[in-house]
Each structure stands twice: as structure tokens, then as C-alpha cells.
A = this chain, B = another copy of it.
Amino acid sequence: MHARGMDFPPLTPADNAFAARLPQGVLRAVEPRYLEERRGLFHGRAGLVAAPRNTGEVAAIVRAANEARVGVVPYGGGTGLVGGQVMPDGPVPLVLSLERMTAIRGVYPAENVIVAEAGAVLADVQAAAVAEDRLFPLSLGAEGSCRIGGNLSTNAGGVNVLRYGNTRELCLGLEAVLADGSIWHGLKRLRKDNTGYDLRGLLIGAEGTLGVITAAALRLFARPATTGAALFVVQSPAAALDLLARAGGRIGSGISAFELISGQGMRFLEATGCAARVPLDAIPDWAVLIDLGLGPDDDPQAALVGLYEEGAAAGLVLGGVIAQSEAQRAGLWAMREEIPEANKRIGAISSQDISLPLSAIPEFIPAARAAVAQVGEFRINVFGHLGDGNLHFNVFPPEGRARGDYPGEMRARVAEAIYDVVAAFDGSFSAEHGVGRLKVGDLERYGDPAKLAAMRAIKAALDPNGIMNPGAVLRR
């Protein structure tokens, strides 16, 4: 094994000299699951897979890797959508899986805090909160398999950001192993702690490039005593935003989610035979799914009726349904959650996770449509977390053609057309999925130069040998 500055030596399972320096019993077989990425955009490589049992073992592995200049790719549930969890090129790395560190270290209902290890599956963290009659509000499609360490490393968003914030806002404290193998014991259960730089916020969203998160103290909330949901047909995205503002005035912080759904998305659901039903007589151009969580003395259905009436009187709302039971509410959510599956069955040429200033959205959507039309004839499914200004802007071939008909060059042109419009409206080319390896070039193109320079300086300062998730976020 030869360390050559920032260059990594190749690492293979036969590299016994390095493996012998790792804690006993941490090595796993290099199974394909560690190397696959669900969209098939990347195929990873790994010389070794290590699955440590505790933070001390994580530290020992990272310290050994740092001394030997071996790259370390932290691996959670493998559900990331930008290739942050797989390293397809460069010197072969060690994959560090958190799958054996799944403990809920403590639940503190009186404090509204839960302490979970990084490998805990998100759904298990949610369930541990429910067992103490509390809510851990992070919720997203992959919650049955993604792990909380990955959610933290990517600052995951999801459907409840409007009310509860992104993962960063849900985290009070962290325990992490830094690139030199030192352990930061920052697992504070404090709401206020102004004792130095925000290392917590920096590691969250750093996608494993500055260290490995091993555990987190996370915020819990009272579970809403009453809930409700409605699907309202709206005149336009502008009408949806007006309705959102009115809902804020009427219902305040009781709005848990406010999702935009396009007619194209509903047609895809029907065309692909997805199980979810659209409970409307005809498919409209636009609809919003509104979810409420209120107090014990409140009446969410009455609140939704009031909002409907105000919206209808103002010409914003054209129809819709209000769930009359928890099962109907679940049905509305099932429809929303199945849109990505329908998209997958149709086969997108380009899937963008973007965000915009809320008031720019009505102008942005037609402008982005027009820009994409300049590249060619496509179908577009725009949907997402309207309350957060977060749209999933997905581009599909016209009927009768398939994704495979479009070369990569065409896909890149579509993405660029969208991103240029996003940039013109002061938006973001990655709202909740992160940069990973997929969007490194986009960050270089659209990112602020002063911020990029600061990021590179921070990376060099905290990981001088460049071992942590090499090539993610910043080019190797």
C-alpha cells in the first residue's frame, strides 16, 4: 500500500495489511447492495466494507483510513438520489456501513428529545417516538429503509418541512467521527447552546465529506390530537399560493403539508395502473393536497370547509374532496406518494428537485416549460412541496416514445434549460436531495464563487488528506 499525497492507493479485499489495522469483526462481504444506486446512474466500487458496532470502532476505522490515505464512503440506507453513497471512480475506497449502529439510545418525552444512532431506520425512529406518544416529523418516501445518519448527512426534507423544518432544524446535537478519527461528543439535548461555531449545522448536509455522523439528539413534538386532509382543485399554481397564504392566516402553524399535484401526475397514475385512486370526477390541471394537525378541541374538517368556502368565493378553488375519515386521509396521501412510482413507470428523461422563492413559482413554471420546449417535445410533471417552494420538475418523452430514445446529451440539455431558469429566479438546483456526485458540476456552475472557495477551504482544513467521501459535493 502506497500513500501518494492526495492520491489513494488501490484497495482490494486482499489488502491484508490495511484490513489488519481495523477492529476485529467489522468487515463484511462486499455485497452488490453496497455498490448499487436505485436510479442506476452510478455503480460504486469498494475494496472493503466495514460495519462497526459502536462509535469507538468508527473512530478506529476512520483513523486507520486517514493514516493509510484510504477513501471512506459512509453508507446508510442507500436511498440517496444523487450518488452520494457510491463512488464509481478514483482509487477504490472502504465503504463504512452504519447498519449495525441502530440503537435508540434514549427517548426523553418530557424534553421532546430522542437520541438515535446513525444506522437507525427512519421509520424506527418515528415508531420509537410514537411509543412515547410523541411525533418525530421527518417523513419521506424512503422512510422504511433510509437511515437517520443519511437523512442528517443530506439534510433531508420531505413532506412536513413547512411545519417542522428540514432535518437540520430537527437536530439538537450530534456525535460524529471527524476525518482524523477524533470523536466529537456533541450529543447535547439543548435548545440553546451558543458555545462556538455551528459544527452540527456544518456536518448536517455535508454528505459525509467532513466526517461520519454516528448519533444524533433529535427534536420531538406533541402528536397532533386531531388531523384532517383535503384535495382541492385549484385554478392555477398562483391560486394555490394564494390559498396557502389564506390557510396560513386561518389555520396558522396547524398546516402540516401543502402539496401541489399536476393533472399530468394524475394521468400518469391512471395510465400506469398504480393502485392509488384520484377521487375526482375529472382530472384537473392542478390540485393541492392539504394536511392539518390540530389540537384536541379543534375541528380540522370544519377548518378545511372554511378554507374551501373562502377559496371558492375568491375563485381560487374549483372543487375537491375533504377526507371524512383517517382511511380517506391515508388514501389521499397514498395517491401523492405513488406519483414517483408512476413517474418511474413512465420513465423520466430528467428529474429535477428544485426550489424557488414562493412568489416566483407562478412565473417560473411556464418559463421553465417554455425553456424545455426549446429543447424538444416533452411531457412535464411538476409536483412537490409547494409550501416549501420545492418542486419536483420531471420531464418525460411524448406518448409513444421512451426514455431510451433520448441520448445523455439531450438529457443534459433539458437539465441545463431548467437550471438556467431556476437561477434566473434565484432558486436552487437541489432543494432536498443534495449534491452527491450527480450535481458536482452544477454546483461549480451555479454556486456562488465565494461560497465555493470557503467550502474548499473548510474541506481542506477538516479533511486534509481528502479521505471522506472523495468526490462527493466537491471534485476530488
| Bound form: Cα–Cα A454–B200 in Å | 11
Chain A 434-445 against B: per-residue CB contact (8 Å), 1 yes, 0 no? 110001000100
Chain B nearest CB, measured from A101 CB (Å): 18
Chain B's closest residue to A295 (CB) is: B252
In the complex, whether A202 has a CB less than 8 A from a CB of chain B is yes
Chain B nearest CB, measured from A408 CB (Å): 22
The 8 Å CB contact of A454, one of B184, B195, B204, B296, is: B184
In the complex, whether A433 has a CB less than 8 A from a CB of chain B is yes
Contact A195 B443 (CB under 8 A): yes
Chain B nearest CB, measured from A355 CB (Å): 5
Residues on the B chain within 8 Å of A388, using CB? 191-192
The 8 Å CB contact of A451, one of B196, B222, B458, is: B196
A residues 195-245 near B (Cβ < 8 Å) are: 195-199, 201-202, 204-206, 210, 221-222, 224-225, 241, 245
Chain A 155-167 against B: per-residue CB contact (8 Å), 1 yes, 0 no? 1010001100110
Chain A 164-206 against B: per-residue CB contact (8 Å), 1 yes, 0 no? 0110110000000010001111101111111111110110111
Contact A169 B178 (CB under 8 A): no
Chain A 87-113 against B: per-residue CB contact (8 Å), 1 yes, 0 no? 000000000000000000000111111
Question: Given known contacts A161-B192, A184-B454, A435-B194, is B359 in contact with A111 (CB within 8 Å)?
Answer: yes
| Bound form: Cα–Cα A447–B193 in Å | 11
The 8 Å CB contact of A194, one of B155, B295, B457, B460, is: B155
Residues on the B chain within 8 Å of A432, using CB? 192, 194
The segment out of A21-29, A116-124, A343-351, A422-430 that lies at the interface is A422-430
| Bound form: Cα–Cα A249–B294 in Å | 11
| Bound form: Cα–Cα A194–B457 in Å | 19
| Bound form: Cα–Cα A457–B249 in Å | 46
Contact B165 A427 (CB under 8 A): no
Contact A452 B196 (CB under 8 A): yes
In the complex, whether A332 has a CB less than 8 A from a CB of chain B is no
In the complex, whether A453 has a CB less than 8 A from a CB of chain B is yes
In the complex, whether A17 has a CB less than 8 A from a CB of chain B is no
Question: Given known contacts A198-B201, A199-B454, is B462 in contact with A193 (CB within 8 Å)?
Answer: no
Question: Given known contacts A199-B455, A355-B190, is B161 in contact with A165 (CB within 8 Å)?
Answer: no
| Bound form: Cα–Cα A164–B304 in Å | 25
Chain B nearest CB, measured from A281 CB (Å): 31
Chain B nearest CB, measured from A470 CB (Å): 16
Copies in the complex: 2
In the complex, whether A3 has a CB less than 8 A from a CB of chain B is no
Chain B nearest CB, measured from A157 CB (Å): 5
Contact A253 B250 (CB under 8 A): no
Residues on the B chain within 8 Å of A154, using CB? 194
Contact A196 B358 (CB under 8 A): no
Contact B184 A448 (CB under 8 A): yes
In the complex, whether A450 has a CB less than 8 A from a CB of chain B is yes
Residues on the B chain within 8 Å of A198, using CB? 155, 168, 198, 201-202, 204-206
Chain A 383-398 against B: per-residue CB contact (8 Å), 1 yes, 0 no? 0010111100000000
Residues on the B chain within 8 Å of A111, using CB? 357-359, 389
Contact A222 B248 (CB under 8 A): yes
Question: Given known contacts A193-B428, A198-B201, is B452 in contact with A457 (CB within 8 Å)?
Answer: no
| Bound form: Cα–Cα A450–B309 in Å | 57
Chain B nearest CB, measured from A146 CB (Å): 15
Contact B190 A428 (CB under 8 A): yes
Contact A430 B205 (CB under 8 A): no
Enumerate the 3 nearest inter-chain pairs by beta-carbon distance, A residue then B residue, closest first.
Answer: A201-B201, A461-B461, A192-B431
Known: A192-B428, A193-B430, A196-B443; 13 extra A-B contacts, CB below 8 A, are A108-B359, A110-B241, A110-B359, A155-B198, A189-B358, A190-B389, A194-B432, A194-B435, A196-B473, A197-B455, A198-B206, A252-B294, A253-B253
